[in-house]
Structures are given as C-alpha cells and as structure tokens.
Amino acid sequence: MFPMHKAWGALLLCALSGSASASAATLVPRKEIFAAALASRPAVSASGKWVVEGGGDPGVLLLTRLDQPGQPAKTVTLDLGRLHWYRWSAEAAEAAEAADVLLVAGEHAGRVLVYRLDPDSGQASVLAGANEQVMLALGTPANNYAFSLYRYRNAATGAVLDVGREGKLVPVEERGNGSLALRPGRGGQTLVFGGDGGKGEINMTGPDQRQGSALVSVTAAGKAYMLSSVERETLALLELDLRTGAQRVMYEQPGIDVRRVILNPVDLRPDAVQVERGKPELAVLDERVRPDVERLSAAGWGFPHIADRSPNDKFWIVKYGAQRGAPLWALYERGKGQLRPLQLASQGGARLAQWDMQDFAIEREGEPALRGYIAMPDPALCGNKPCPLVLKLHGGPSMRDFAELDTERYWLLSRGIAVATINYRGSRGFGKQFEALDRKQWGLGIPRDARDGLSYVMEHYPVDRSRVAVLGTSFGAYLALNMAANGAPFKCAVVDSVTADQLRFVEEAIARNGERTDLIERAGDSRLPQERAALAAMSAVNHVEQLKSLPLLHMQGAKDTNTPAAGNAPFIQAMLEADPAYTYVEMPEEGHGLTGARADYLALTEQFLGRCLNVATEPLSGQERARVAGYRMLGK
C-alpha cells in the first residue's frame, strides 16, 4: 500500500531508545504505573485476611495476607488470557470454619473458565467451563462485582448450572431465579422473566442510553435490578419483579445518570448509587449503610469510592482521592467502625506524586453548558513554571470523562503535563437530551464545544499556551484532527483508531446496514447533497493542506473493523507526501482502540510528546523496542 521507509524505522527506534532527558531517571517507570493499584481492583475475603488484586499481566493475581504485615504478596498465575472478574466465594461467609476460596473467571482457548483457588496453597482447579458449554457470561463494571451471572450447560447430562456465590455449580432451579432467562437479542441479550408463560422481556444491551438497559443484579428473592433509560430522560436504577413483571424506580434524577451501583454482597440488593455532575457523589438507598457512608465521608481523605465489600459485608475496601492528592486505599471494618490505610501489593514502587483536579462548568449564551476537568501535576514536575497541556478527547462521541485519577491521566501528570478533558455535547452522563445534541453536529457544535473548553482552560489555569498537544482515540481522534485543521493551537497531535474520511465511513455503514445505521441521524446522510458536502468538509482527508505542518503521530490496528486501516489509505499517503513530521504506525494484531498494545501506544506517545512539549521521558525498554520493531512504521 505504502512504501516502507526502513531507514526511518531504524532511526526512529534508535531515537526513541535515547530520548529521555537527564531528569528522566527520576520518573516513575511506565511499567509500574500500568501495573499499579490505579489499574487494579482489590477484593477482600470474608475473613478479612486476604486481599486479591490483578497482577497486570494475563492470568496473574497478587494475594496479600493482611494479618501478616510486611510479608510479600503471593503471585499466582492461571492459564488464562483476559480476566473477566475475580471475587471471593461466600463459603467462608456462611460457615465460620470454612476457608476463604477465590473464584476467578477468564478466557482460555476460546472458552470461559471459572477457577476455584485456595489462597493458602495457591492451588487452583477448574470449577466450570472445561466440561460445560457457557450459556451466559455476565459481569458488569456498573456494579461492585458482588454479582456475576455465569451459566453453563453440562455437555454430558445437559443440566443447566449457575456458578453459585458459595463457589459451586448449582442447578438453575435451585437458585431461586428460575423465572429468569437470557437469550440472544437485538444488539445484545434479551431478559425474559415471569416463568414459563413469560410476563415480558427487556432488551439488555449495556448502559448506553441509546440502546436500553443493563442488568446489575438478580436476587434469590426473584428481583432483578437494572440501569435503564428506556422511556426515560436519564439512566435510572429500576427494580423488576421477575414473577409479576412489576417495575419500581429506585433512583432517578433529572440531567444526571447513574454511573455505578453499590450492591450489598449478602442479598445483592442495591444500597447506594454513585453519580457525577462535576464531582462524584454517593446517594444512599438503604438506611442501614448510611452511618457507614457518613463515617467514610467524614475521614477527611476525599471522596470514598467503595471498591469492594467482602461476601459477608464485614470488610470494605475504599479508595480515596478522586479530586486531590495521591489516591489512598483503606480497609474499613464495619462492626468496629475502624478505617485504616491499606498498602496494596500492586502499588509497587509507584509512589504517586501530589496532583490537583478541578471540575469546571462553562455557561454560554445560545449553546449548551459544558462540563470538564483540568488535572494539574505537582508544580515541581513543571520546574515551577507553567506546565505544558494535553487536551485528551474522549471517544464515542457518547463516552464521557470523570473526576478520577485513571492510569493514562496519571501517566501524563507524572511527566509534568497538565491534562484537560471536555464533556462536549453528545457525551453520556447528562441525560438523553444532552446526548442527542450530537446529531448533525460532528463538524459544527462538537468541535466548537471542544475549542471553547480548551480556550477556557488556557485562560483560567497556569498552563503554557505555547506547549499544547492533543490526544484522541476513535471519535476523539477524528475530533483532534478536525480541531487541528481548523486552527486549534496544537503544537502536535497523537491519534489512533481514527477514520479520516467521514463521508466514506457513513457510505460504508449505509451499504452494510441500510436505514438501520444510526450514523444517518447522528453524522449525516451521504445520499443527500447538502449532508454529503458536510461530511466531506469535516473529513481530515480533505484538509491535508491545513495539517501538513503539524507533527502528527498516527497509530492504527490492522485488524480494526470499526475504523479499518484501508479506509485511511488516501489520507496516509497524502500525509506521507505532504507532512515531514507525520509518522504512521500500524500494529498488525490490534483492533479498535489498540487494547492489546495500549502500553506500547503510550510508550511511543511518551517519546513523541517528550520532543514536542520538551518534557522528560523514560526511554523504551528492550522489550518495548522489540515489540515496536514488529510494527509497520511509515514516515519521512
């Protein structure tokens, strides 16, 4: 497709391996950041003796004995690829003499396996999946993982079995939810309820407001809890009686969606919800936990993000520090009302520097109000001068940003770079009305929102206006190119998983799906002359002249089916010919979002930003260089 500049690839690798400044030795290593507790989800056992965390690599778990302080964590490796979830069984919770048992679900050779793991010995055995066929695998980040529903059919007997809370395979009819069934449905799964006769069904496609509902939990008492925006303006928490079909609203607020449901791990009922406008908030639903929430909130450590609750609900793991300072993990013992700091194994040597995040709201006449966040690093990392700034644009456009220290945000902050994010029109979280404002505004209102947000940050915060970069994935990458082509003051840009030709993108969607594609309503109808012209006008492929002086790092997965690399061929070729600072990197095994190679994406981005923004960087490691050498690199 394109000429391969082998000399350039070799020079690039050589340059990347030695790009760090003298102060780079003081940086927190990337590997520690990506394996740190920021990216992990700790879970505490019923006895309170054990905490388990993901180890960063596929199938790796870290087990720490809380009653043996100072002892190193035990590393356990299971023959699994991507982990779906891990949680402690309720066996020890229901019988005082029972030992703690960990349940771990993940992928192996095309199957979904569930392991039982003894934390003392590290020995694991397959509970389900080796001799059974998975019928349903459901675990959702919309709750605190107290609930997961994994259903199998035994290949020999035909029996339908669920993975029980106590860590055993239990026939469905003994679970108390025999009235519940899930089957493939439109765009996801259909929840069928009400026994053999059927009282009704609900399309369950995930907590996307345009699509329907997400199942949060199912109780032995025959109640299902779900997040749903069907016939509602916002994402609400509903209770569904599986026997009668009766529904009850448990939480609903105008202009704000439920982000997360905190489940009681004993009865699987919701007892709190987490929401966010500018700052995170906890709304209590069950008065039994109100004293606990008030006690956690009064600790003075920040917002109490309830990460986990033991199967008997005696112990909670809480993360503090959503707004300011290094996150602090704590263990809360309910019966004693005790709260104490918790040192997690996955924190390793990553000692997170102080930082500050502020939310902001922009009121504009004749335009929707906007919300966003600015995260500022420790001033010392910026040499006590104005910090360079990265505008990080979320995708979708119906995704959104939150006030939290996620891994990628901290990675930038640790390099002395401020990070701004904007929830432009079309972002979810603020109700259907705000989300629907993206319609036919991909090249108009959305870029205007992002420009207004960037201008606000540059005017109100101590950032260096001469050192501003933009990062975006998928729709965020499109938006970054659109802004750059229309004069945004970017010194450089990094994009991935992008389509540079919106006209072709919509045409292909119509060819595949006809009138069913929502791109006709949201982006524009390529069959109508005026809208066809608008789609062409917003496409980066038609703005190479405006982009040719922009240092641009463009990464793409060769197996991306959402925004295929082949669709960008004219743009890539034109940029290679026009822009001396354009680099294209194609990762042969990656799909949309470069999920499997995200660490490599960030490593390459760091080297690029180091030169563009004049900040210290960590050189590529030998392993990173070896992996990057297998990617297709084009440039001048």
User: Could you write out the three-class secondary structure of 256-307?
Assistant: ECEEEEEECCCCCCEEEEEEECCCEEEEECCHHHHHHHHHHHCCCCCCCEEE
Q: What is the pLDDT of residue 11?
A: 40
Residue linked to tokens 């660490």: 599
SS3 category, 403: coil
End-to-end Cα separation, the chain, in angstroms: 16
32 phi/psi in degrees, rounded to 5:
-70, -35
Percent of the chain with pLDDT over 70: 85
Question: What domains can you pick out in the chain, each with its CATH number?
Answer: 6-30+351-501+539-635 (3.40.50.1820), 37-347 (2.130.10), 509-538 (no CATH)
Rounded to 10°, the helix 407-414/598-613 angle is 30
Among 131-145, 158-172, 352-366, 450-464, which stretch is predicted with the lowest mean pLDDT?
Answer: 131-145
Place 160 in a pLDDT band, splitting at 50, 70 and 90.
confident
Q: Specify the pLDDT at position 208.
A: 56
Neighbouring residues of 614: CB distance < 8 A, sequence distance ≥ 6: 388, 467
Q: Give CA–CA dist 492/553, Å, rounded.
A: 8
Express the helix, strand and coil content of the chain in percent, nearest 5 each: 25, 35, 40
Are the CB atoms for 148 and 105 separated by under 8 Å? yes
* Cβ neighbourhood burial of 298 (10 Å; 0-12, 13-18, 19+): exposed
74-77 and 60-65 beta bridge pairing: antiparallel
- Amino acid identity, position 599: A
Quick check: 223 pLDDT over 90? no
State residue 12's pLDDT score. 46
Task: Select the more confidently predicted residue: 141 or 81.
Answer: 81
Residue 35 reports pLDDT greater than 70: no
In one-letter notation, the amino acid at residue 189 is Q
Please report where in the chains the tokens 């109700």 appear, as a residue: 431
What is the spatial distance between Cα 502 and Cα 539, in angstroms, rounded to a whole number?
5
d(C-alpha 603, C-alpha 600), whole Å: 5
- Distance between CA atoms of residues 231 and 468, nearest Å: 42
pTM of the predicted protein model: 0.85
Largest Cα separation within the chain, whole Å, is: 74
The pLDDT score that the predictor gives to residue 494 is 97
Q: Where are the beta strands (DSSP E) in 440-498?
A: 463-473, 492-496
Judge residue 201's burial from the number of C-beta atoms within 10 Å of its C-beta, 0-12 exposed, 13-18 middle, 19 or more buried. middle
* Residue 360 and residue 316 in contact, taking contact as beta carbons nearer than 8 Å: no
Type of residue found at 537: A
* pLDDT for the residue numbered 456: 97
| Structure-block tokens of residue 368 | 């929707």
Would you state the pLDDT for residue 345?
82
The amino acid present at 29, given as its one-letter code, is P
| Average pLDDT score over residue span 70-77 | 90
pLDDT band at 310 (very low <50, low <70, confident <90, very high): very high
Q: Are 532 and 526 in contact (CB under 8 A)?
A: yes
Stated as kind and residue range, the H or E segment containing 138 is strand 132-138
- Tell me the C-alpha to C-alpha distance, in Å, between residue 484 and each of 26, 451, 469, 489, 586: 33, 10, 10, 7, 22
* Average pLDDT along the chain: 86
Find all residues with CB under 8 Å of 70, minimum gap 6, and list them: none
